[in-house]
Each structure stands twice: as C-alpha cells, then as structure tokens.
Amino acid sequence: MSKSNIFSLCVFVVTVVAMLTLGVVPAASQPPDNDNRSMPTIINAIPFSETQSTTEATQGSDDPYVWCDYYSGNPQATVWYSLTPTEALDVQVTTNGSNYNTVLVAFNSWGDQIGCSTSGMPLLLELNATETVSFMIGDQYASGYPGSGGGGTLVFSVDAVLGPENDDFANALIVDSIPYRHTVDITGASSESGEPNSSCDYNNMRKAVWYAFIPDESGSYSIDLRNHNFNAFVAAYTGDSLNNLSEIGCGTSYGGGNLFTIEATAGATYYYQIGRVYQWDSAGPIQFNLDVAPMPVADFDFWPSDPSMFEEVHFAGYYSHDPANVGIESYIWDFGDSGTVNDCCPNHRFSTDGEYTVELTVITFDGRSASTMRLVEVQTHDLAITKFQTPKSAKAGQTRQVSVGIRNQLYPEMATVRLYRSVPGGFEYIGNSTQEIPVRSGNRTTNFDFNYTFTESDAAQGKVTFKAIVDLHSRRDALPADNEAISSPANVNK
C-alpha cells in the first residue's frame, strides 16, 4: 500500500473514532416521500413533470406484480404518483430522460393494470373524469435481484394528448373537392357537450371527428374509411347545428373496403362523424375518403351451359353486386327472343335452337344502373334407339346379327353403342361400336350391327335378351330416356 493510501486510511479511522467519542452518529439514508403506494405524489395539473432521485427508494410489501417486467415481475426502488382528472382526456405518460431502465405501470382505481412500459417507452392512456389512476415506477434491471437496490435519476412527465383540428363540430373540415382524401389521428379526439351518438356507435362517443360536405351535383356519394387498425364508424347527418342534427345513416369498417353511401342533394350540407366503435380498441390514424358512388356490377351465370329447346335454363343474377352497399332493387332480363322479366333468378326456355344474346340490367335502390350481356347457344342434341333387331331363335355356337337402329334428326353426331346380353342377375357386357351418325329425316335410322355367337350358357338358360345403350361423344343428350333399349328375347337351343 502506498504512503498516501496509508495516510488516508489513518485519517478516516481517526475521524470515525472521534465522532464516536463525541457521540456523533452519521445520518441514515431516507427514502423519497412517494416511496409507498399509500403516499403517492399527487399530480394536481397537466402538463406535469418532475425529476427526483430514486436511489434510496425501496420495494413496498404491497407493490403489485408487473406483467411487463420480464425479469421477476417485482421491480425494486419503486415510487408512486396519483392523478384524478376533472374531465375525460387522453394523456401520454413517460419516463424518458431517466438515467436508468425504468418500469412504468398504470393502475385504475380498482387496482387493475391499464398500461405498462419499460425503458422510457411512453404510455398512452384514456382517462375518465374523477376516476383516479396511479403510476408506479421501478428499476427494471434491479428487479432480478431483490434487495439489491437500484434506481437513479427519474424524469417523470404527464402530458395531455390534444385532439385533431376537426375534433369539434364547429371545426368540421370542409370537403372542398371530389374525390376527397384526408388522414386524421383520432387518438386525442373527445366528445363535446351535445354531440350525438350514432346508431353505429357502441362506445357512447368518446373519440370522433367531423367533416362537412356540400355537393355541387345531386347524386350518391360513398365514404371509404381506410388504413386504420381499429373498428371505426361513420355517421351522416343533416342539420345546421350540433343540437339540431338528424342521422340519415351510418356504417362500420375495419381496415377499409366497406363503403357507406348516401344520396345527397346539390347545395345541401351534410355532416360526417368519424369515430371508434369500441372503447377497448386502441385509437390512431384513419383515412377518410369521399367520392361519387361507384356503379353497380352486373354479372350472371346460367345452367345448363349447353341448353336444349326441351329444357328450361336457370339464370342467376345474384352474381351482381353493389360496391356502394346500397343494394340492388331490380334485375331486368332480356333473353334475346322477345322474352323479358324482372326477377333475380328466373327460368327461361328457348323454343328453337340458335344463339341468343342475353342481357341483364341491374338498378340499385338509389337509381344507379349497370348492364352485362352473355351469349347463350341453344343446341338440341338428341339420339334415340328406335329399332332393335335380334334373331327370334338360335342354337349354341351359331353366329347371328344383332342390329341397333339410331334415329338422328338434328345435327351430325359421333356416338358409341354398347351391347349387353342377359345373364342370371342382370346383364353382361358384350362389346361396342363407334361411328358417325348423319342427320336423317322421318324415321330413318343409322344401324350399328353386331355379330353375336350364342353360347352353351345361353342354351342352358333357354333364351337371351339383349340391351343396347347409345352414348353421344362430347355432347349431352337432351332426352336421354330413349338412349337405352331392351330387345325381345331370343330362344336358344343346344
């Protein structure tokens, strides 16, 4: 040890001995006045800011567990503050500027945690009038070592979050052109005296802003609320003062894409109220978009897609929709054969083959309209087995001809005929034949001929019945009931 260190140590020992001899005792360290939950520093006005040392602060036995403290949940060196606002307001609470890593926790009057942050990150809180909120600030890192002290220089501040410029009805932003786009942060928005609660507002109006619109032309106008991460509502009103407003409609939105539309008269004033639906949602920015309502979209489908003149075609107009969310009132059909109807989903039969341009016009409840057309090709494809020639008798081992006559009077067709013979319990496949079937008038047919050799099992049964089925290629038979036939039985001997 150096001589200077030895000298310093001697001076320290002599000083302590002298103090003890004279009865002088060093003063004990004192925790801050707001060390305990029961004696918080009262915040009497906002904005509020205070700097204090927390190095002598302790951990109270009734300090609650903190869910955002990932070390132990029990921060050390805690101090307390309390605020009872006289009016509802939003505040930002922060420990930014402190020289240690803080844990900041807010509690309501029931002791429930309503906010928690670490390392100087701000808390954004919505406070109700006359409801007390308490704040506990502790040392985050010291929380891992109970009894190890901690703390430092704490900078604690509470500031009111001001509402946007169009928070009040009297300051409603004027929609000066169409289309109109405006983004507003409703975090600090409040409810003024007499402000109406819309039928879409389940929060009893705490956060809302106002817009005013005077259209140059009468018509339908749509609002689209976008780029928001909370459930939002929009309500439309007519009237000339806050206490003289009549709601003409409202709608809700989450994230955007759900248009709300009203019919507006040129020169009249309309007020739009935009706000948050649920109090538990975090408020924030939202984009207000106002434009002329989009046209409806006309669309339909029909089936069967290959109709014949023997059947009704079902038309479905419910593929149409109105993006403005007013709704479609009328579906007007023109089937291209002088047939018309006003119905969402009609059935229609075309009496002759041909190509028909079917047009659907949809009209919304506010008079906007749109049309679409589709080509419907009607072709009747119909084959029928009208002749079935089989031998009346035969012997086992004898080969005889079986002929199936197909009638076709409309279009040339390619078809396959399948032939079966009767066996105990049903029919057994024999073979098939494929060929083109030309159009023939009257009862003339195209024959499919098969050579069949009768068997010993046929003779054992004593008779054989044949079944024929004709199948169209790449087409649907309009009347399939006559595509199958069963012959008269042929007697078979040994």
Domain boundaries, the chain: 41-160, 169-292, 301-378, 383-493
Cβ atoms of 221 and 260 within 8 Å: the answer is no
Cβ atoms of 36 and 80 within 8 Å: the answer is yes
CATH of domain 383-493: 2.60.40.730
Listing from the earlier edge strand, what are the strands of the sheet with 328-334?
Answer: 340-342, 328-334, 354-364, 369-378
Q: Evaluate if residue 256 carries a pLDDT over 90.
A: no
Q: If you write DSSP's letter for every residue of 402-416 in order, what string do you get?
A: EEEEEEE-SS-EEEE
Q: Return the pLDDT at 149.
A: 62
End-to-end CA distance of the chain: 135
* pLDDT level of residue 48 (50, 70, 90 thresholds): very high
Q: 169-292: which CATH topology?
A: Jelly Rolls (2.60.120)
Q: Evaluate if residue 19 carries a pLDDT over 60.
A: no
* pLDDT level of residue 483 (50, 70, 90 thresholds): very high
Q: Evaluate if residue 8 carries a pLDDT over 90.
A: no
What percent of the chain shows pLDDT beyond 90? 77
Residues 276 and 63: their CA atoms lie apart, in Å, by: 34
Q: Return the pLDDT at 328.
A: 97
Cβ atoms of 209 and 166 within 8 Å: the answer is yes
Q: Each residue of 167-214: pLDDT tens digit? A: 999 999 999 999 999 999 999 898 888 899 888 877 666 689 999 999
Mean pLDDT of the chain: 90
Q: Return the pLDDT at 191.
A: 83
Candidates 220, 223, 216, 222; CA nearest to 269 is 216
**SS3 (DSSP) at 21:** helix
Cβ atoms of 393 and 491 within 8 Å: the answer is yes
**Can you tell me which residue has the tokens 């928001």?**
228
Q: Return the pLDDT at 141.
A: 78
Q: Evaluate if residue 71 carries a pLDDT over 90.
A: no
* pLDDT level of residue 135 (50, 70, 90 thresholds): very high
Amino acid in position 109: S
Q: Return the pLDDT at 402.
A: 98
Residue 343 sits at the vertex; the CA angle it makes with 339 and 348, to the nearest 5 degrees, is 40
Q: Of 278-282, 391-395, 469-473, where does mean pLDDT reach its minimum?
A: 278-282
Q: Evaluate if residue 21 carries a pLDDT over 70.
A: no
Residues 310 and 494: their CA atoms lie apart, in Å, by: 48
**SS3 (DSSP) at 422:** strand
Cβ atoms of 81 and 57 within 8 Å: the answer is no
Give the helix/strand (H/E) hosting 419: strand 413-423
- Give the torsion sign (CA, 30, 31, 37, 39): positive
| 301-378 and 41-160 share a CATH fold | no
Residues 417 and 412: their CA atoms lie apart, in Å, by: 16
* pLDDT level of residue 302 (50, 70, 90 thresholds): very high
Residues 151 and 196: their CA atoms lie apart, in Å, by: 48
Burial of 130 (0-12, 13-18, 19+ CB in 10 A): exposed
Give the helix/strand (H/E) hosting 342: strand 340-342
Amino acid in position 186: I
Measured CA to CA in angstroms, residue 210 lies from 73, 191, 192, 196, 244 at distances of 43, 11, 12, 12, 15
Residues 247 and 231: their CA atoms lie apart, in Å, by: 20
Q: Each residue of 408-429: pLDDT tens digit? A: 999 999 999 999 999 999 999 9
Residues 55 and 79: their CA atoms lie apart, in Å, by: 11
Rg (CA), the chain: 44
Measured CA to CA in angstroms, residue 254 lies from 210, 247, 312 at distances of 19, 21, 43
DSSP letter (8 states) at residue 248? E
Mention the CATH class of domain 301-378. Answer: mainly beta
Q: Evaluate if residue 310 carries a pLDDT over 60.
A: yes
Q: Each residue of 361-404: pLDDT tens digit? A: 999 999 999 999 999 999 999 999 999 999 999 999 999 999 99
2.60.120.380, 3.40.50.920, 3.30.1300.10, 2.30.30.100: CATH of 41-160:
2.60.120.380
Cβ atoms of 376 and 356 within 8 Å: the answer is yes
Amino acid in position 111: G
